Chains A and B, each alone.
Chain A
Amino acid sequence: MLRVFAPDRRIVLLVSALVLIALSILYFKVHVLKFTLLPSPETELWLLECRVKFETPGGPVRASISMPEEVPGYFLTGVSTTPGFRFDSEERDGRLIANWSGTADGGTHTILYQMRLIPDRHAGRIADPIEPVRKPVWSDGITAAAAEAFLKQLDPGGRAKPEVLIPRVLKELHNRNLPSVRTLLPENRQGAHFVRIAGKLLAMRGIPSRLVEGIYLVDGRRRQMLSAQLEAFYGNRIHRFDPLTGKLRTADGFLPLRNGDTSLLEIQGVRNPKFHISVLKTSVTAANLNQLRGSLVRHSWILDLSGFNLPLEEQNLFKQIAMLPLAILVIVIIRNLIGLQTMGTFMPVLISLAFLDTGLTAGIISFVLIISIGLLIRSCLTKLNLLMVPRISAVVILVILLMKIMSVIAYTFGFTHGQAVTYFPLIILAWTIERSSMIWEEDGPRVAVRQLLVSLLACLPCYLLMSNATLQCFFFSFPEMNLIVLALILLIGVYTGYRLTELKRFRPLVLPCSEKF
């Protein structure tokens, strides 16, 4: 019987626990936080830049911007990029309230607030319900009569369906040849006022509606003003109409920012405030998007552990080492499942880490160069009979000088990859030279060169895995996958079967032997 895994309950338990934890966190992130699982390297990201420009004679200033937390298709997060004011933000009634306060010198000031729209299919699907119709109140009898006349002209029978009536109302309300329109809208104002009047007219026919204001997601549209639209409720759904054309609108990139009476900007102690919103499209890697998603959910320990709350710089550091466990797994496989000896257990991992910076070809060339020149010089040192610590130190210094000379030479000959050598871990190189020269002396050049080649070969899968952008994103967004890597390593740790090289080494034992004495 082939007993390959020693049945050890603790290991089985541990491995299942690790896998379970990892998969639960993964499930939580994908299904609750909507992380992108298999990322396309780049995704688009919309930015809204809110800019409040104002004048002040000098003195205390308070401002607050209120934005929805979610809109159909997006979650919103905001950061202030305004120095000089105290900033804080809070969530209230489904809105993000950003507050600035401080004392300003006299003059013109600008408050900048950058919002990011994080795509999510599920966001903002449940819109605020529209209040039932209240009987409209007109300012005087003449206006009320004009409204009555307007509706009668459009829909004499009073039986038109909302989907027919609403466009007709919006369109005819632009027709200034009609006396009733001139009475209802004496000043030919567009925007919010227009929509409110249209809403009153619809209310007279029992159709609930409201005014929404928002912006359009169009790349590079600077200084957008709020655009007013009409939302009406019928057929169990909310429908949105463009008051300018009277057309029903869907999926046109309109982003509702407020409805009813919520105000976007409140500001005190200033003169002449101007509020603009600019829309900008940028692209981010999926990993960064996942990171943004992570920052969206405050106070979640899983994300705290995933490191999404760390400063960006530190997060980038982790991006580099996020893949290391995978490379270590490769080494474990090479040593315990395949059975190849590398020079120094984790030397290939460190060397391939350097390859990430240098690129593969430049990396391999400089590695081979340094090691061979190093070995040559080291063989001269042998003759001097130095003590060990001074000798290794001498090798380290030689490696430093070699690196310097090589980059200078490469530079003079116009190879831009000249500085590639400097990425290599110095001490590892020195030890590699020292060890291979010892092996060279003791077991011969063949063994030494073979071990060096095997080590270099082991770098390849490490490098290919670590340089893979998709994997990088994946492991950065889901560091819990390292628990699965750990589980795999634990499993290999109890593997007592044959290594691949042993199948070859011990093959004579399964053949009949004629050389037996």
Chain B
Amino acid sequence: MLGKILKQFASPSALARAGVLSMNRRNRDFIMKYNLRRYYPMVDDKLRTKTLAEQFGVPVAPLIGAIRCQYEVKQFENMIRNRSGGFVIKPGHGSGGRGILVIRRHSGNSFEKNDGTLLDRVQIHRVITDILSGLYSLGGQVDYALLEECIDFSDVFRNYSYQGIPDVRVIVFRGYPVMAMIRLATKQSDGRANLHQGAVGIGLSLRNGVPRMAVQFNQPVSRHPDTGVPLRDLRVPFWKEHLELAARCADMIQLGYFGADIVLDRKRGPLLLELNARPGLAIQIANHAGLAARLERIEQLDPASHPTPEERVAFAREQFA
């Protein structure tokens, strides 16, 4: 009985040998050490990230506008009146996909969500009002609503995702990409790309972006649970560009350790979706590899050894195949 229970646990020393990064160590040795608190707003505030990215030439989904006060709510129609494509409304300080409204198409008073349901103007006003009241922001502080163009996600992922768009998560440490995965939304995750909600995570080889293994709820899977396509065949085009985009983010924000979420737009190529100062640890399971060893390898490097993002990406692809 006891043996059976114990068998479900790994020994700490085995985990350490495998180079697995623990939550406590991530927080203390990496996030606290390399991410100064005062730089957090750069990533926690989506508008600031976006403006910074535009300054540094990092491609992002184009901004439509921001709504900050209740009396501006009705103006959202003016903002989107002359746009034919879809748009997205999201809380400026949101996280975990909460409060995000993706409108695929719209005409007049009819707005089509990406799952096909139709909303009217009043319902959209209410979503914005909710965002402004701080419903989706940390600690409930007042927030603003951000409007951006809908990303027209690339056909290459057509059958790999249920509703939401797949995004590539790259962990960047001191400017070097150290690990990557792609997250696929499922029915169970409600179209969201968060692993703990049931999205599929596929570890990607840093060298060429080829899948290493796939997990859902920490269990290995070989096919997409909703569409049934074999996951091993997935290929991420513009792999080098993905990594270089992530590495370039390190130059624009002063964080030493972060996760970059990148989506592939049909026309614009890889776009930065958002940055995360506290990226999760499940990426280790999707890659069947520990982060600690890779982070220690980077920590030993002379900071001046690879000054450009391209050099750092080349080094990482070489080191962390």
The answer to whether B222 and A339 have CB atoms under 8 Å apart is: no
Q: How far apart are the CA atoms of A498 and B28 in the complex, in Å?
A: 13
Q: A504-B10, A506-B285, A513-B288 are in contact. List 14 more A-B contacts (CB 8 A).
A: A2-B13, A387-B129, A497-B24, A497-B25, A502-B20, A506-B18, A507-B9, A508-B220, A508-B285, A510-B18, A515-B220, A516-B212, A516-B288, A517-B232
The answer to whether B22 and A497 have CB atoms under 8 Å apart is: yes
| Chain B 184-221 interface residues, beta-carbon cutoff 8 Å to A | 196-197, 210-214, 218, 220
The answer to whether B28 and A496 have CB atoms under 8 Å apart is: yes
Interface size class, chain B: 35 or more
Set B10, B24, B130, B140: member contacting A509, Cβ < 8 A: B10
Q: Which residues of A contact B14 (CB under 8 A)?
A: 510
Q: Which residues of A contact B196 (CB under 8 A)?
A: 443
Q: Which residues of B contact A497 (CB under 8 A)?
A: 12, 22, 24-25
Q: How far apart are the CA atoms of A506 and B16 in the complex, in Å?
A: 11
Q: How far apart are the CA atoms of A391 and B140 in the complex, in Å?
A: 13
Q: How far apart are the CA atoms of A498 and B21 in the complex, in Å?
A: 8
Total chain A interface residues with beta-carbon distance under 8 A: 33
User: Please, what's the 1-or-0 string for B278-300, where 1 marks a CB less than 8 Å from any CB in chain A?
Assistant: 00000011001110000000000
Q: How far apart are the CA atoms of A513 and B22 in the complex, in Å?
A: 20
Q: How many A-B pairs fall under 8 Å by CB?
A: 106
Q: Provide the main secondary structure of the chain A interface.
A: loop
Q: How far does the Cβ of B7 sit from chain A's closest Cβ, in whole Å?
A: 9
- Would you call B133 an interface residue if the criterion is a C-beta within 8 Å of the partner chain's C-beta atoms? yes
Residue ranges of B at the interface with A (Cβ–Cβ < 8 Å): 8-18, 20, 22-25, 28-29, 96, 98, 126, 129-130, 133-135, 140, 196-197, 210-214, 218, 220, 222, 231-232, 284-285, 288-290
Q: How far does the Cβ of B23 sit from chain A's closest Cβ, in whole Å?
A: 6
If A509-B20, A509-B285, A513-B213 touch, whether A2 touches B28 (CB-CB below 8 Å) is no
- Would you call A126 an interface residue if the criterion is a C-beta within 8 Å of the partner chain's C-beta atoms? no
Q: How far apart are the CA atoms of A113 and B292 in the complex, in Å?
A: 72
- Would you call A440 an interface residue if the criterion is a C-beta within 8 Å of the partner chain's C-beta atoms? no
If A388-B134, A498-B15, A515-B220 touch, whether A507 touches B10 (CB-CB below 8 Å) is yes
The answer to whether A509 and B232 have CB atoms under 8 Å apart is: no
Q: Which residues of B contact A510 (CB under 8 A)?
A: 10-11, 14-15, 17-18, 20
The answer to whether A516 and B23 have CB atoms under 8 Å apart is: no
Q: How far does the Cβ of B61 sit from chain A's closest Cβ, in whole Å?
A: 23
CB nearest to B135 among chain A residues: A388
Q: Which residues of A contact B28 (CB under 8 A)?
A: 6, 494, 496
Q: Which residues of A contact B22 (CB under 8 A)?
A: 496-499, 502
Q: How far does the Cβ of A132 sit from chain B's closest Cβ, in whole Å?
A: 75
The answer to whether B12 and A388 have CB atoms under 8 Å apart is: no
Residue ranges of A at the interface with B (Cβ–Cβ < 8 Å): 1-4, 6, 336, 339, 385, 387-389, 442-443, 494-500, 502-510, 513, 515-517
Q: How far does the Cβ of B194 sit from chain A's closest Cβ, in whole Å?
A: 9
Q: How far does the Cβ of A513 sit from chain B's closest Cβ, in whole Å?
A: 5
The answer to whether B23 and A502 have CB atoms under 8 Å apart is: yes
Q: Which residues of B contact A505 (CB under 8 A)?
A: 218, 285
Q: How far apart are the CA atoms of A284 and B135 in the complex, in Å?
A: 53
Q: How far apart are the CA atoms of A505 and B290 in the complex, in Å?
A: 13
The answer to whether B8 and A2 have CB atoms under 8 Å apart is: no
Q: How far does the Cβ of A354 sit from chain B's closest Cβ, in whole Å?
A: 24
If A388-B130, A442-B98 touch, whether A513 touches B135 (CB-CB below 8 Å) is no
Q: How far apart are the CA atoms of A388 and B136 in the complex, in Å?
A: 10
Q: How far apart are the CA atoms of A339 and B22 in the complex, in Å?
A: 11
Q: How far apart are the CA atoms of A506 and B288 in the complex, in Å?
A: 9
The answer to whether B212 and A506 have CB atoms under 8 Å apart is: no
Query: What are 15 A-B pairs with beta-carbon distances under 8 A?
Result: A2-B13, A387-B129, A389-B133, A496-B29, A498-B15, A498-B20, A507-B8, A507-B9, A508-B288, A509-B10, A510-B10, A515-B213, A516-B213, A516-B288, A517-B210
The answer to whether A509 and B220 have CB atoms under 8 Å apart is: no
The answer to whether A506 and B133 have CB atoms under 8 Å apart is: no
The answer to whether A499 and B24 have CB atoms under 8 Å apart is: yes
Q: Which residues of B contact A503 (CB under 8 A)?
A: 9-12, 15
